[in-house]
């Protein structure tokens, strides 16, 4: 990405009270890189352009523009990719060999998501059964408690 206007870049440095060295420190680049950028000798990668613009308090698209050569390269790559996608053989829509016959269909089974079918007759209520007489022996007295006599 190239600076849109090198004079505007220098003006922003002045307005923010930054030297090229201070800007370089804030943007994590070298002072030589900032100098070449300010003279139009270098371009910046998008991440670097964003860091420089952020340090100056502006949006990167206000300060930088995409190089025409890069646009052409990106367009060519996109065109090549599209051409490759069109040229790639598509998978066959039907199998080339006949499939074996399917087994006879069976009645549909209930799906785990379908509601259960109602029973043919209502269930009968449980019959009350008489409780057997208690045949267990009485509990022994606790050895910790004295028994009342």
Residue 90: what pLDDT?
47
Separation CA 58–CA 84 (nearest Å): 40
Helix (H/G/I), strand (E/B), else coil: 3? strand
Residue 124: what pLDDT?
63
Taking only the tens place, the pLDDT of each residue in 10-33 is: 999 999 999 999 999 999 999 999
Taking only the tens place, the pLDDT of each residue in 62-79 is: 999 886 655 555 565 556
Check pLDDT > 50 for residue 115.
yes
Taking only the tens place, the pLDDT of each residue in 75-90 is: 655 565 555 555 545 4
Task: Choose among 79, 1, 91, 82: nearest CA to 37.
Answer: 1
CB atoms within 10 A of CB 35: 14
Task: Please state the separation of Cα 13 from the chain's center in Å.
Answer: 39
The residue whose two tokens read 């259960």 is 116
């Amino acid at each position: 990405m190239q600076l849109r206007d090198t004079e505007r870049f220098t003006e922003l440095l002045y307005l923010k009270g930054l030297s090229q060295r201070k800007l370089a420190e804030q943007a994590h680049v070298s002072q030589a890189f900032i100098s070449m950028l300010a003279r139009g000798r270098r371009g910046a990668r998008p991440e670097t352009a964003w860091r420089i613009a952020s340090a100056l308090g502006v949006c990167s698209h206000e300060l930088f523009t995409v190089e025409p050569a890069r646009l052409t390269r990106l367009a060519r790559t996109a065109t090549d990719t599209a051409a490759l996608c069109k040229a790639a053989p598509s998978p066959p829509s039907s199998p080339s060999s006949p499939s074996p016959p399917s087994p006879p269909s069976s009645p549909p089974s209930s799906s785990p998501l379908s509601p259960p079918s109602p029973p043919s007759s209502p269930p009968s209520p449980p019959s009350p059964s008489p409780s057997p007489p208690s045949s267990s022996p009485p509990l022994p007295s606790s050895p910790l408690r004295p028994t009342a006599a």
